[in-house]
Every structure is written in structure tokens, then in C-alpha cells.
Amino acid sequence: MTLHVSKGLRNKTMDTDPVITVMDGGFIFLYEGIVPDSADALIDPSVNVLAKVSVNGDGVTGLSFLPTATEGTITKADEIWKSNSGSTYGGLVSFYRHIVDATDIIEEGKSASNTYPRLQGAVGSTIEELIMSDPNISTGAEQAINFYSVTFPTS
């Protein structure tokens, strides 16, 4: 799978705001199951959210990036990114969405949208957009994200 950039994120970054500005303060949702074809697509109702990642796992403080991109890459700020320990479901994480819009956050990033800024990628323990030491999450367990970066490809 490759990184999917939503139409909403592309439009915002083409209009006025850099990706860092748009995505700062957002949250990463980790999902099991069927991966949507794009970051704009509806997530199948059978797919469960396994975790919501925030600063210190508090569920309300959004994630930040370092202030400067390097070689087309933005990188996670020096913060503790983790899920809270109250997850209802356990399972194997197959993909994530990094979302920032307040309505999208309430909807857990599951709705179809051509306007919400989102990043979507695969999750795994080796070569994926989001690497986790163990993408199998137990019910109620915290999940840390120690490294995260977003790279826009060259030509």
C-alpha cells in the first residue's frame, strides 16, 4: 500500500497551508480490517477502530510535527504519542488515518469525504507507512507510536 493523501489535504496545501500546518493538532486512528481504496473513501461499517493516538494518550491533545521539513519529509515532534488504554476492541491493525477536522474526529475518520484533510497508510512491523513493533493490539492496551514521518515523493 502507498500513502494516500485526501482531496481535502491536497486542496488545502495547494491553496495556502503547508502539510505541517494542516496536519498539526490531528490524531491517528488505527483500524483493523478492509482497507479503503483512498483516504476519501468510506470505511466499511464492519471495520473497528482499535485505537486513537494522541499526545500522552489523553485523547484530547493533538499530535505535532517538527517545525521544518527535511528532504520532503515531516517528522513527529518530540512528544509521547500513544493510544489510551480504554480501547473496546483488540485485533491486528491493517491501516491508519491521520485526521485533523473536528467533525472527522468525532466520526472516527470513517465517513466518505472529499473535503476532510487526511493521510491514510498501511500499518505493519516492517516496510509500511506506519511501522509498529507489534501491530496486534490487545483490548484495553496502550499503543505507542515512537516514530512517524510523512514523505512526499520526488518525481
- pLDDT tens column, 77-132: 999 999 986 677 889 999 999 999 999 999 999 999 999 999 999 998 887 888 88
Structural contact between residues 62 and 37, judged by C-beta atoms closer than 8 angstroms: no
For residue 154, is it within any domain? no
Helices (H), 57-151: 102-106
What is the residue whose three cell numbers read 491493517? 94
For residue 155, is it within any domain? no
pLDDT value of residue 50:
93
pLDDT value of residue 54:
96
For residue 79, is it within any domain? yes
How much is the CA Rg of the chain, to the nearest whole Å?
Answer: 14
For residue 112, is it within any domain? yes
Percent of the chain with pLDDT over 70: 97
Structural contact between residues 145 and 98, judged by C-beta atoms closer than 8 angstroms: no
Q: E strand or H helix at 80, and its extent?
A: none
Domain that holds residue 25: 4-149
Based on the structure, what is the number of domains in the chain?
Answer: 1
Percent of the chain with pLDDT over 90: 58
For residue 130, is it within any domain? yes
For residue 94, is it within any domain? yes
For residue 59, is it within any domain? yes
